[in-house]
Amino acid sequence: MTIDTLKRALKFLLFCLLQALVLNRIQLFNVATPLLYIYFVMTFPLGFPKWAGLLWGFAMGLVIDIFSNTPGLASSSLTLIACIQPYLLQLFLSQETDNGAKPSVRTMGLGKFFTFAITIVFLFCFILFTIEAFNFFNWQHWLGSIVGSTLLTLLFIMAFEMWEK
Amino acid sequence: MENLWQFLTRHFHWLLFLFLEAVSVVMLFSYNDYQASTWISTSNALAGKIYEYQADVEHFFSLTKQNEELTLHNIILEKQIDMLRQKCDSLAGDTTAAQRLEMENLQAFTLIPAKVVSNSIVNADNLITINKGSKDGVKADMGVVCGNGIVGVVYLVSRNYAVIIPALNNRSRISCSIRGTNYFGYLTWTPGDPSVAFIEDVPRHAKFKKGDWIETSGYSSIFPHGISVGKIEKIFNSNDGLSYRLQVRLSTDFSCLRDVCVINDKEMAERMRLREAANDSLMMKTIKQ
């Protein structure tokens, strides 16, 4: 249990640093930024205690907020995603049993994983950019951000998964 | 009561979720608050430190470019220093320029330093005795100068001492010219003020003004060219009216003379001998005629 926590903490640190130092600088066409930290929340294994997931998600969001100077933005959206992630995972992983089946291409197959990923990432970007904008005055930018960031993040996630395979 | 506890433990994560969301929303809506923003913003020490490390690494990789820029800046600054130094030299006062020129002039000759052991300035024919003689290489008709200007000509030499006819002597005739021009005249002295002498036979078409420096002309074959003599104070007409007579304030202070230098110029001796030979042969020619 502690080994897992340690490994998770290491991944947590890695994702935070990667996002803060590298990925936050990338902004394509002024709308799309890769939000790779969602991958951390996405890959909570099946049966992971919900309160732990919430706490990890909140912590990740907090750190990202510290580095991006947007207090409360990422933490609120990430906590929400961390809350609904188990339920979504159950939807996609319906045949599997319990005990730490991490969602990945290996366990779910490419098609299912891709659908799962796109759902979570799109939901996260939607919530994030809606809260960020908080109005519909500049709806083209808002829409563009959602779509652009979703696609870019997905690109990174799929690349990472393929590399891990 | 137990039901409540059961409810709570079963749906604990929902409560936690609500709580965390509440915290996030509070942060979100209060990020204008000064305390909250400074706590959670990038000025947070941790974020700052990590960004500092990253900046150091980036800075290290850009060092070659910075080196090139610094070298270029150095070259520009050195050029500026050169220009400023030239400007400084051209604006520098007259005294330093004069002393430097004098030292440059004197360095071309062998100098025999000597100390004055006897001096007088109140007589009509004053004489100076120095503590160097023939054993030190002093010979008659050598020029004597000091740091500020000319002193005189060596007249008599014994083994350990020499006697100098200074400029403050009825019999001294030192050829001088006006600095900056080639007009020359003879330095004479009349008994009276020991700091004032006269330049005779300056041509009337010569261009000069009060305050101009007088220096040795180099024609007398005793003194090299360029040693300062004094400054023009007043301009008179000569007795016969054909030339100017300049009153000169001597740059050498004869009343407190202590350290002098005897000029040993071998070339000058050769020139002098050649001139004497020419004079003699001319005299012979006229006699013959």
pLDDT for res A16: 92
**Residue B286 or residue A152, greater confidence:** A152
CA distance B30 to chain A (A): 8
| Residue B155 confidence (pLDDT) above 80 | yes
Residues near A66 by beta carbon (within 8 Å), at least 6 away in sequence: B40, B41, B42, B44, B46, B47
Confidence of residue A155 (pLDDT cuts 50, 70, 90): very high
The answer for residues whose C-beta is within 8 angstroms of residue B45's C-beta and 6 or more apart is: none
- Domain map of chain A by residue range? 2-164
Assign B263 to helix, strand or coil. Answer: strand
DSSP states along A39-78: HHHHTPPTT--HHHHHHHHHHHHHHHHHHHT-TTHHHHHH
Lowest mean pLDDT among A63-67, B81-85, B179-183, B247-251: B81-85
pLDDT greater at residue A118 or residue B149: A118
Q: Whole-angstrom Cα distance, residue B165 to residue B171?
A: 8
pLDDT tier for residue B103 given thresholds of 50, 70 and 90: low
pLDDT band at A96 (very low <50, low <70, confident <90, very high): low
DSSP 8-state assignment for residue B221: S
A residues 50-79 near B, CB within 8 Å? 50-51, 53-55, 58, 61-62, 65-67, 69-73, 75-76, 79
pLDDT tens digit string along B255-280? 888 888 888 876 766 777 788 888 88
Q: In the predicted model, what is the mean pLDDT of chain B?
A: 81
CA gap A25, B199 in Å, rounded: 87
Residues of B in contact with A58 (CB under 8 A): 20, 23-24
Q: Is A96 exposed, middle or buried (0-12, 13-18, 19+ CB in 10 A)?
A: middle
| B159-184 pLDDT per residue, tens | 888 899 998 888 888 889 888 888 88
Confidence check: pLDDT of B129 > 80: yes
What's the confidence (pLDDT) of residue A112?
Answer: 87
Q: Answer whether A54 sits within 8 Å of B44, measured CB to CB.
A: no
pLDDT tens sequence across A24-76: 888 888 788 899 999 999 988 888 888 899 999 999 999 998 888 888 889 99
Least reliable range by pLDDT among A9-18, B99-108, B136-145, B203-212: B99-108
From B12, B20, B41, residue closest to A69, measured CB to CB: B41
Q: Look up the CATH architecture of domain A2-164.
A: Orthogonal Bundle (1.10)
- Structural domains of chain B ordered from first start: 47-78 (no CATH), 110-277 (2.40.10.350)
Q: How many CA atoms lie within 13 A of A40 on its CB side?
A: 28
CB contact (8 A) between residue A76 and residue B28: yes
The pLDDT of residue B96 = 58
Over 60: is that where the pLDDT of B38 sits? no
Q: Confidence band (pLDDT; 50, 70, 90) for B95? A: very low
Residue A77: name the closest of A145, A29, A137, A132 by CA.
A132
Confidence bin at A147 (pLDDT 50/70/90): very high
Q: Six-digit token pair at B55?
A: 């900046």
What ipTM was reported for this prediction? 0.74
pLDDT on residue A82: 93
